[in-house]
Chain A
Amino acid sequence: MGVEGIGARVARKEDKRFLTGKGRYTDDMVVPGMKYAVFVRSPHAHATIRSIDATSAKSMPGVIDVLDGKQLLADGIGNLICGWMIHSKDGSPMRMGAWRPLAHETVRYVGDAVAIVVADSVAQARDAAEAVVVDYETLPVVTDTLQALSEGEPQIHPEAPGNLIFDWELGDAGAADQAIAAAAHVTELKIINNRLSPNAMEPRATLGIYDAGDDHFTCYTTSQNPHLARLVMSAFYNVAPENKLRVIAPDVGGGFGSKIFIYPEEIVCLWASKRTGVPVKWTADRTEAFLTDAHGRDHVSTVKMAFDSNNRITALKVDTIANLGAYMSLFSSCVPTYLYATLLSGQYAIPAIHANVRTVYTNTAPVDAYRGAGRPEATYLLERTIETAARELGVSPAELRRINFIRTFPHQTPVIMNYDAGDYEASLKGAMEAADWDGFAARKAEAERRGMKRGIGMSCYIEACGLAPSAAVGSLGAGVGLWESAEVRVNAVGTIEVMTGSHSHGQGHETTFAQVVAERFGVPIDSVNIVHGDTDKVQMGMGTYGSRSGAVGMSAVFKALDKVEAKAKKIAAHLMEADEGDIVIEDGALKVAGTDRSVPWSQVALASYTAHNLPPGMEPGLKEGAFYDPSNFTFPAGCYICEVEVDPETGQTKIVQFVAADDFGNIINPLIVEGQVHGGLAQGIGQALLEGVHYDQSGQLLTASYMDYAMPRADDLPSFTVTTSNTPCPSNPLGVKGCGEAGAIGSPPALINAITDAIGNNELTMPATPQKVWAAVHSAH
């Protein structure tokens, strides 16, 4: 490893612009003639639109136009889509209700957009939006996950009778039932996974620019995957053909899944720009973000875990109802199915698994992927259950997990996944040592003397990321392939530009991708530029989510580097009249192995462009592209341990230590990997301790600001202890696994296991607020 190569703890190249206020986010963009949009949104959770009257709004100062859903429909703009087809177990396709970018007949959640106001200033647009008169006839409302399926509840989409979207299963129900019937012990639990708001700190924004001269659109947007946005807006929404639509996702202030999806606002602002003849910018305020950014989680499950007399798990049976909100968002269908039930084997050898998943419509914001997407739900269910089983069986939680660990690889689970590599014992041991597990009893006794209840809990998670083999996901219903592309352009002076379809919105690609190049050619990372986020600069890409940028995006770069290296070696061999097979690259030069003959990298680059002396028949230039389609998911795994003190007088939980021991395979930059884990832990701890989206019975969102939704603050969290023990991933050339979501996946059960251990009451739901913990303390026996 060079000082800036693979494995080096390099500070980030991109930091300077963010630290000096020179970052360029979508809301920072200003173009000549630009006007501002504000959306008129439904204040009702379910209503029929009788009429929309914008007469007085249109006459207000600064107003350019007010446009509604009937005009959008007349112009042929299509419905929003869900891009992953799921079939129910009876073979019928999922029942997708229509989602119009601007509702013109029915609104189905508070925040549903019904019109756009374009004006000279945001303030003027906001004033006019308040003057748009929408006559609503309100309808009955259902927001609760379980209640949505009950008889007599309001029908949200005509396409989905009883609000059921699909009733899907995975695994062998008969085998699971048989094992449960024959079990020595069965642990049963009801598990609720709370609804969350992603809360990237940069609110969503978009700037639509129509150029009438070229009949061409440009869309600046807060996207994790600008190419996918272009594809979907072009192929499904009829905004413009791909060659007439440029999508730019400049600096993006966090995503966590919420910026994967294509929302109504991008489509409507592009359309409005053409209708009004002016560039149209919209930026969400935080309340709009709470109302309309796709939420995460919201599962209600029951689980049975069966054990034989040796405490080996013989079966797992799960029944889950998942709330998808008022409309099916872009990837909403795959989250509670193929990203969830496929992980229900966890780190354990379980012979029989069956999961049944029903998804429902409710009058709430759409629910889709949020950091972890399905895997936190699986992990929480499994790790709460095995911890509960350990308490019931009188076995230590570590021992029960050890008894059931998968120890040989590859391992085929009963739920599709084929785990390629791992060492679960190593991360368990690492975490227990780092947490001084053995010293806990003494710490608990000391806390007791102070009147505090101290508890410790663990969670052994596995996740599948590096999404994903295209043919495999295609066979499961995905509408897209999940490969990645890269192009490596070596300039004539030897500097390098890498075009990648991955998108960085905090992950540090400009540094880590450059490290991979630096490792290969021995050049400084400052001579390597990573270009991403612009469909005019990068031909095609699938973007960043599902912890895929390292395993898939970097692997595409790696493949392109192979091609560049091969050509550069041919040129160097020709220049030095040596055999191509004898050329090695060291310290920024191409050398003939075992001799003192060498040419600097920059000279080879220049020679490729002067083309004065190239091998016969070789094309000039040094630029190569590659597409990389992974052959498997990658399987990061680890053990998290949380230790808490609960004040029985107040119900307040204090996290006294949190240890994360992860297996991420080979690591490109430990500084960045640790940062990813810290952030994931904070979101997982937020879910377990603080965060929860709440609607009232009429469908009003009660948690629509930072005054009401408890975001983790610095003083809610401890400093973290983060360690790794790595088994390289065998399926990609860099041996890397994903690290972006692990923290959010593994942490919630560790924390709830710790609190329930402290208070001696296993009945506790997330978020474990002081009120809930206090009640649980005082009802414990």
Chain B
Amino acid sequence: MAKLTMTVNGRQVSGTCDDRTLLVHFIRENLGLTGTHVGCDTTQCGACVVHMDGQSVKSCSILAAQAAGSSITTIEGLASNGELHPVQAAFKTHHGLQCGFCTPGMVMTAVDMIRRHGGNLDEATVRAELEGNICRCTGYHNIVQAILAAAAETGGVRQAAE
């Protein structure tokens, strides 16, 4: 059994789990944060994306023990004071979600994508960057629109310049 402590959504948490427990299961089952989802067993779908020390990672491909001491942000930690994060708000405005299952991973990926690319995001880049996130409902059209709009709003990027 592994005993571990980490910071999740700004709060220090501790827990005990099997050595083989994946971070996503620790988050869902030990911490009860069920916004992070599991959609596959092969690290393909991206429904489990969280931020670890500021970078997006697939929490199904990391052992909980490997995340000990790190700072994790899940979808539950993104909105602040009841206000949606600009990426969350853009997904709503642009109907970038339907069943909602891939959505937490999509949003966490998008936040990190915008952080890394800033003003250089265009449609082709967004589509290429979404390689690791699968959505079966939206055909990605409105997800791409939402990410571009959020990038424009938060980064003062290409779209805003036009």
Contact = CB atoms under 8 A, between A and B. Distances in A.
A674 B137 CA distance: 12
Contact of B97 (A18, A24, A200, A682): A18
B34 A18 contact: no
Contact of B103 (A18, A121, A505): A18
A679 B74 contact: no
Interface in B129-160: 130-131, 133-144
Nearest to B128: A715
Interface stretch (B51-59, B61-69, B75-83): B75-83
Contacts of B75: 19-21
A719 B139 CA distance: 9
A254 B144 contact: no
B34 A19 contact: no
A672 interface: yes
A57 to B, nearest CB: 19
Given A201-B134, A682-B140, A714-B127, A674 B18 contact: no
Contacts of B124: 715
A612 to B, nearest CB: 40
| Band of interface residues on B | 35 or more
A340 B16 CA distance: 55
Given A19-B91, A20-B84, A202 B131 contact: no
Please report whether the interface of chain A is mostly helix, strand, loop or mixed according to DSSP: loop
A506 B103 CA distance: 11
B34 A28 contact: yes
Interface residues of A, number: 59
B28 to A, nearest CB: 8
Most buried by A among B35, B39, B40, B136: B136
A675 B95 contact: yes
A498 interface: no
Most buried by B among A11, A19, A20: A19
Please report whether the interface of chain B is mostly helix, strand, loop or mixed according to DSSP: loop
A294 to B, nearest CB: 15
A609 interface: no
Given A11-B95, A19-B88, A719-B144, A678 B74 contact: no
Given A11-B92, A15-B92, A202 B98 contact: no
A281 to B, nearest CB: 11
A675 B123 contact: no
Contacts of B42: 286, 705-707
B40 A705 contact: yes
Most buried by A among B18, B37, B126: B37
A474 B76 CA distance: 48
B160 to A, nearest CB: 19
B100 A506 contact: yes
B20 interface: yes
A626 interface: no
Contacts of A287: 41
A724 to B, nearest CB: 16
Interface in A682-704: 682-683
A714 B144 contact: yes
Interface string A241-263: 00000000001111010000000
A507 interface: yes
A719 B127 CA distance: 10
Interface string B20-41: 1100000010001111111111
Given A16-B92, A19-B88, A711-B134, 5 more contacts: A19-B107, A253-B102, A254-B99, A285-B41, A714-B140
14 contacts: A19-B97, A21-B34, A22-B35, A23-B35, A201-B136, A285-B40, A286-B42, A675-B95, A679-B139, A682-B140, A713-B140, A714-B135, A719-B141, A719-B144
10 shortest interchain CB distances as A-B pairs? A21-B35, A18-B100, A253-B101, A682-B139, A506-B99, A706-B44, A506-B98, A678-B139, A21-B75, A714-B130
Interface of A: 11-12, 14-25, 27-28, 30, 121, 123, 199-203, 251-254, 256, 283, 285-287, 505-508, 671-672, 674-675, 678-683, 705-707, 711-715, 717, 719-720, 743
